[in-house]
Chain A
Amino acid sequence: MGLKLVLTGNYALAYAAKVARVNVVAAYPITPQTSVVEKLAEFIEEGELDAVMIRVESEHSALAACFGAALAGARVFTATSSQGLLYMHEVVHWASRARAPIVMGIVTRTLGPPWNIWPDHTDYMDQRDTGWIMSFAMDNQEAFDLTLQAFKVSEDPRVYLPVMVGIEGFILGHTSMPVEIPEQNLVDEWLGPRRQPYVVDGSEYMAIGNLALPEDTEEFFMDIQNAMEEARKVVVEVEEEYSKITGRPFKGPVECFKCEDAKYVAISMGAWSGDLMESVSQLRDEGYSVGLLRIRYYRPFPGDYIFEKANSTKGVLVFDRAISFGSYGPIFLDTAASFLKHTRKTPYIKNVVAGIGGVNITSDDFSRILKRFVHEVESDGVNVFEWYHKGKVVR
């Protein structure tokens, strides 16, 4: 058994980077991410982590420095939020296109303007087309586990893509919970030394990212898509192996909570899934046949898995904490498209957007929304899209 500590979500990320024995950290402060790098700075200055800390002048440079260090053979970590993530967006693409294994924590915070430091998923979703593997935690233990697993996923030769791990700012970021940290020697053995597709260290000529013809460029894109497909297997394998060293249960890319026999399933991602679970349990007691599919990996999107678990239900209710303006919530779009891969006859699929800008959604809110949905399906009158705001439904 390893160490059990009471950690904030932010510290859980920092501890994961520490036990992964990163060589280089580069980061720039932004609320609510700041304490991740503060903790890492402490580890490094106290000699608990043998790494170089590059205290850069911006997020663009933070990821750029990690990118350079990763190409040159170092295991690297950074973390950011919101405006900082937008500011580094150019380099986010650069990292995946170069197939550079990098791990980044995203302590989510809504995007301004207006200035707002509360969490939703808009900053995280803004990165969904960048070619990064994307996971999202529900509690601090998972924040730690997914971050540590991210190094292994990212450095798998079938993948060689960067990974970002989301946690919601403040909700997890600044709330303390017990977190189990596996023994360092077990982690060392399980994770192994740094693996990467190539190293730029002067030992052979190499040109990374130079001008390419359209056909070659398209092939780079196709390779990333293939790597994403491979990653579906890899994330499962990595978690299975990891379960062995921690003794904690395997949850998979999607956690199934009372979903096996449910007639109606909700789909969600992030910390509010905890409230949703509470609501599901309560509704079960009231006789509703409801369940939950909680997304732990958003990219590659676990669409086949969701289809398999939800296809025989009567209704699927997708909660999004982000909106693609002029369309729907992103998880809903992915879910609907995933069903169409398999069938023309889908269950009712509905999207509720809520919790934007950090608006608090309670288990009572979830219960109210779920009950309404059950009622709508039963009466054949489902509205495909709703915005749940201040306890009211806005269509």
Chain B
Amino acid sequence: MSRPPLPYKTRDVVLPGDAACPGCPIPIAWKVLSAVFGDKMILVIPASCSSVVVGMYPGNSLRASVIHVPFASAAAVASGVSEALKKRGVTDVQVIAWAGDGGTADIGMASLSGAAERNHDFIYIMYDNEAYMNTGIQRSSSTPRGAWTTTTPIIGKSEEKKDVAKIMIAHGVPYVATASVGYVHDFYNKLVRASKIRGFRFISLHAPCPIGWRFDPRYTVKIARLAVESGLWVLYEYYDGKIHLSGPSRPYVDPSKRKPVEEYLKLQGRFRRIDDELLKSIQEYVEKNWEWVKKHM
């Protein structure tokens, strides 16, 4: 798909009263959701920044229905909603489980895996801000190696980032994609494709968080793009048994086209303590990940 015009009524989707920090990636993504689904979506949101960003009772800053659910249960509640709607013959509304990396990669993993295995008909979007932001920036299994968080306060996270998209591919669901708030057209295309597929669809959305990653709020999009440009975050779709590299990531199959990862890291306070050894291991992670991507293309 080429660049579709994003309908500019997206501005209306997040109404006054949302509680996002300046530069927050969440409203950016919600605007894209609304561009695709309008108000015909039901968001199932577990405990996370999003449960706050959407605003306070009795208001709701999203022009859509929102069901707030326990931390571990987004995929299970969405399973129930989608099955009930199917049973009632309601077909014009998209059920979307919308959860952070903590609610997905950690506490919600079992319910995510269960719903995927049963192939329920909804889209699961994990917005990956790479830590538990709502409770004050604690590490999640999706936090990258070397990152400072309040529970890895001195030496940074020592383990590798858990790659949830790969786990979902292993489930054999009809559609898996990675996306980024830095590439809204790409995200838009992926949602459109996902909306035409039935069954369980998973999108892992890279979502830089100025508060947790320690950067100036005006750089959210820039940093999201640097992750892709440095080859650290690869944009792809997985369907028909293989990986289809997305436009923005295509140049970076060629390592010489990639920007140095330092450029990405140095803008973020959370990587302040990164030394040469860690830098090397991050570089190796990038190479290894690309090898995997190429092998499955």
Determine if A254 is an interface residue (Cβ-Cβ < 8 Å): no
Determine if B149 is an interface residue (Cβ-Cβ < 8 Å): no
Would you call A200 and B111 a contact (CB within 8 A)?
Answer: no
Q: Which of B58-66, B125-133, B158-166, B254-262 contacts A (4 or more CB under 8 A)?
A: B58-66
Determine if B179 is an interface residue (Cβ-Cβ < 8 Å): no
A-B contact count (CB 8 A): 172
Instruction: Report the bound CA distance from A52 to B113 in whole Å.
Output: 19
Determine if B77 is an interface residue (Cβ-Cβ < 8 Å): yes
Determine if A325 is an interface residue (Cβ-Cβ < 8 Å): no
Count of residues in A whose CB is under 8 Å from the partner chain? 42
Determine if A64 is an interface residue (Cβ-Cβ < 8 Å): yes
Determine if A26 is an interface residue (Cβ-Cβ < 8 Å): yes
Residues of A within 8 A of B93 (CB): 201-202
Interface-centre pick from B39, B54, B69, B113 (highest chain A CB count, 10 A): B69
Determine if B40 is an interface residue (Cβ-Cβ < 8 Å): yes
Would you call A91 and B73 a contact (CB within 8 A)?
Answer: yes
Determine if B169 is an interface residue (Cβ-Cβ < 8 Å): no
Would you call A211 and B114 a contact (CB within 8 A)?
Answer: no
Q: What 1/0 mask marks residues of chain A from 51 to 63 whose CB sits below 8 Å from any chain B CB?
A: 1101111101110
Q: Which of B17-43 contact A (CB under 8 A)?
A: 39-42
Distance from A50 Cβ to chain B, minimum over Cβ atoms (Å): 9
State which size class the interface on B falls in: 35 or more
The listed residue (B62, B65, B76) touching A61 by CB distance below 8 A is B76
Would you call A54 and B118 a contact (CB within 8 A)?
Answer: yes
Residues of A within 8 A of B153 (CB): none
Residues of B within 8 A of A51 (CB): 87
Decide: A68 near B56, CB < 8 A? Known: A23-B84, A57-B110, A94-B69.
no
Would you call A68 and B80 a contact (CB within 8 A)?
Answer: yes
Residues of B within 8 A of A71 (CB): 67, 80-81, 84
Would you call B110 and A64 a contact (CB within 8 A)?
Answer: no
Q: Is the interface of B mostly helix, strand, loop or mixed?
A: mixed
Would you call B60 and A207 a contact (CB within 8 A)?
Answer: yes
Q: Across the two chains, which residue of chain A brings its CB closest to B94?
A: A202
Instruction: Report the bound CA distance from A52 to B92 in whole Å.
Output: 20
Would you call B114 and A205 a contact (CB within 8 A)?
Answer: no
Residues of A within 8 A of B8 (CB): none
Q: What 1/0 mask marks residues of chain B from 85 to 104 whose CB sits below 8 Å from any chain A CB?
A: 11110101100000000000
User: Closest 7 CB pairs between A and B?
Assistant: A68-B80, A202-B93, A57-B114, A61-B76, A209-B68, A207-B60, A72-B84
CB<8 Å pairs between A and B, sample of 28: A26-B80, A52-B84, A58-B110, A61-B73, A61-B75, A61-B114, A62-B76, A64-B80, A65-B76, A65-B83, A67-B69, A72-B88, A72-B90, A73-B88, A74-B83, A74-B84, A74-B87, A74-B88, A90-B70, A204-B65, A206-B65, A206-B66, A207-B57, A207-B60, A208-B65, A210-B60, A211-B52, A211-B56
Residues of A within 8 A of B (CB): 23-24, 26, 51-52, 54-58, 60-62, 64-74, 76, 90-91, 94, 200-202, 204-213, 216
Known: A65-B77, A65-B83, A69-B83. 14 other contacts (CB 8 A): A52-B84, A56-B76, A56-B111, A61-B76, A68-B78, A68-B84, A70-B80, A72-B81, A90-B70, A200-B67, A205-B64, A208-B67, A209-B69, A210-B60
